[in-house]
Structure 1
Amino acid sequence: MNVILPGHPEHGIRSEDANEYLNHHIEVVAGHQLGGIGGLQKATAIHIEWRDPWLIALVSFHIIVTFTCFSTRNHGNFQVILFIILLLLVYFSENINEVAARNWALFSRQQYFDSKGLFISVVFSIPILLNCMIMVGSWLYQSTQIMTNLKKAQLRQRLKEMNMHREQQHIKAE
């Protein structure tokens, strides 16, 4: 399609030229920005094949972990174990990245694993850390609920003792 877009007063800009111009500048900007935050190639950052089986498995893993975090919020011991396992996975993500960088052809269609570990940090570590933050938030909420219930029980006990003390004084006064 050769549509003439308004441009310079003497002549217009063809839409094909405009698209080519925009695509070129998007690639340049993406390349500069991605190069500044870890040296990822713009092709790997822009063209992630989300239908890769291992990426589907990774997303499924994150969904299952998130579901597990929410469904086990009342099971403290299990959550502590899950929390430690998740933090260990984040701790060893650099080693996982190195192994994946050496063996990417066995499970992936593209090489995503850069030397700085940006890709694995974004798709692996950050979601795990968000789940850990959810668990910590749940623990803090549960702690405030327990403290509130404890304080209410203490106040009820004190009120009960005061009432008993008044009754005893009332009985002694008669």
Structure 2
Amino acid sequence: MHPGEIEVNEITGYWSFLLSIDWKDPWLIGLILLHVATTSTALLTRNNTNFQVFLFLFLLLVVYFSESINEYAANNWRTFSKQQYFDSNGLFISTVFSIPILLNCMLLIGTWLYNSTQMMATLKTAQLKERARQQRKSAAETAKSEGKDKSE
């Protein structure tokens, strides 16, 4: 056992599980940077709905295949990791992989809902302005026609 490693039977809760992870492992740093890049992309492309839909579907597809990714990583962990993290229950991959991706998906949905409410408010404002303009126009025409009737 390496110094600082924790035996599986020593993990009594989720917090001790998180503490048992070697966060300085290069591939984990890369994964965290990937999550940061995904979140940044989701935020920076908030006005490009087509790209966001593609990103959303891609992220959901990756989460869908996380069980297969977990199996592959469990079989090949020595090629990229210092420790075997990939348990059969999928706790590790859910924690460091799927949950951040699903949070990004929630961020995308929140962005879409916000954009929808802004668009609906803009549309309703435009409708009210058009209705007021129509009413002013019809009132002006009515006043004009009443003025003609009185002059005749």
**Common fold, TM-score beyond 0.5?**
yes
**2:84 is aligned with 1:111:** yes
Q: Which has the higher contact order (CA 8 A, sep 6+)?
A: 2
- Which letter does structure 2 place at the counterpart of 1:141? Y
Unmatched runs of 5 consecutive residues or more in structure 2: 1-6, 148-152
Identity of aligned residues (%): 53
Q: Deviations over 1:42-66 (max 9, x none)?
A: 7x65331112111011001001001
- Which letter does structure 2 place at the counterpart of 1:127? P
Unmatched runs of 5 consecutive residues or more in structure 1: 1-26, 35-41
Alignment partner, residue 135 of structure 1: 108
- Which letter does structure 1 place at the counterpart of 2:11? G
Alignment map for 1:4-19 (pairs within 5 Å): none
Alignment partner, residue 10 of structure 1: none
Report the CA distance between 1:131 and its aligned residue: 0.5
CA distance in structure 2 between the aligned counterparts of 1:162 and 1:56, rounded to whole angstroms:
63
Equivalent position to 1:158, from 131, 135, 140 = 131
Q: CA RMSD in A?
A: 1.8
CA distance in structure 2 between the aligned counterparts of 1:47 and 1:92, rounded to whole angstroms:
25
Report SS of the residue matched to 1:116. Answer: coil
Task: Count residues in correspondence.
Answer: 139
**2:60 is aligned with 1:87:** yes
The structure 1 segments of at least 4 consecutive aligned residues displaced by more than 2 Å after TM superposition are 29-34, 44-47
Structure 2 CA distance for partners of 1:101 and 1:156, relative to 1, 3 Å: same
Equivalent position to 1:144, from 94, 117, 121 = 117
Give TM-score scaled by structure 2 length. 0.86
